[in-house]
Amino acid sequence: MVDHMYHEKQHFYFCGIHALNNLLGGPFLTKEILDEVANRLSISTSSGWWNNPYKSMFGLGNYDVNVLMLALKEQGYDTQYLDTRREKNLWETQLKQQESTAFGLVCNVRGVWNRHWKAIKFIKGDSLKVSTAPTTSFYNLDSKLSAPMKFGSRNELFQHMTGLIETDPNTTILLVSPFILDSKPKM
């Protein structure tokens, strides 16, 4: 368990909010913000505010993947949907290719009664030895945990993710990276 990392615990069906805030490292997003994002998406798809497919009609959260993706975009993060239903290990290949720029993962997994959002954060740090490359640590920031849990290695993270996907082939994985802005001014 890790004591010093920001970690919101589960409340109602607000796991989407908790996952994003845990990944971002603070209480940056609220129910009001995600509800507003869901309402904008609903209006853009002509669903109407009364029949909003992007959130719970009871006001308890349960946000759709599109709400989380747009909320992250508005916070300055890019998301890439890693499809676990296609090729078996395509998600793993995509993650390995982009690990150096990735900030973390947001995953939607099967729960006991319904689906659940959770975050896995990547923390890049310098190696203590000059001769070795910088290392990345991986943290499970699931809001159902009593505290964040550090994965012992990259392989342990991949084993965890493989287990989630084998249990539920419909697991949604978002690879989250900061936007990289073009340094040249646009004319």
List the domains of the chain with CATH numbers.
15-178 (3.90.70.40)
For 55-80, what is the mean pLDDT?
90
The distance of Cα 156 from the centroid of its chain, to the nearest Å, equals 18
In angstroms, rounded to a whole number, what is the distance separating the alpha carbons of residues 167 and 170? 9
Q: With 70 as the cut, is the pLDDT of residue 72 above it?
A: yes
Dihedral Cα 125, 181, 23, 58, nearest 10 deg = 180
- Whether the CB-CB separation of 14 and 150 falls below 8 Å is answered with no
In angstroms, rounded to a whole number, what is the distance separating the alpha carbons of residues 129 and 147? 29
The neighbouring-strand residues paired with 176 are 79, 104
User: What strand order describes the sheet that includes 135-140?
Assistant: 77-83, 172-178, 104-110, 115-125, 135-140, 149-150
- The DSSP annotation for 56-115 comes to -TTSSB---HHHHHHHHHHTTEEEEEEESSSSTTHHHHHHHHHTTT--EEEEEEE-SSSE
Q: Where is mean pLDDT largest: 51-55, 59-63, 110-114, 153-157?
A: 153-157
What per-residue confidence (pLDDT) applies to 50? Answer: 64
Q: With 50 as the cut, is the pLDDT of residue 127 above it?
A: no
Spatial CA neighbour of 162 closest among 79, 88, 82: 88
What per-residue confidence (pLDDT) applies to 187? Answer: 37
What does DSSP assign to residue 13? Answer: B
For 45-55, what is the mean pLDDT?
71
Q: With 90 as the cut, is the pLDDT of residue 45 above it?
A: no
Q: What pTM did the predictor assign? A: 0.87
What's the pLDDT band for 140 if we cut at 50, 70, 90? very high
Burial class from Cβ neighbours inside 10 Å (0-12, 13-18, 19+) for residue 58 reads exposed
For 68-83, what is the mean pLDDT?
92
In angstroms, rounded to a whole number, what is the distance separating the alpha carbons of residues 2 and 145? 11
Q: With 60 as the cut, is the pLDDT of residue 186 above it?
A: no
Spatial CA neighbour of 23 closest among 6, 3, 9: 6
The neighbouring-strand residues paired with 123 are 137
What per-residue confidence (pLDDT) applies to 175? Answer: 92
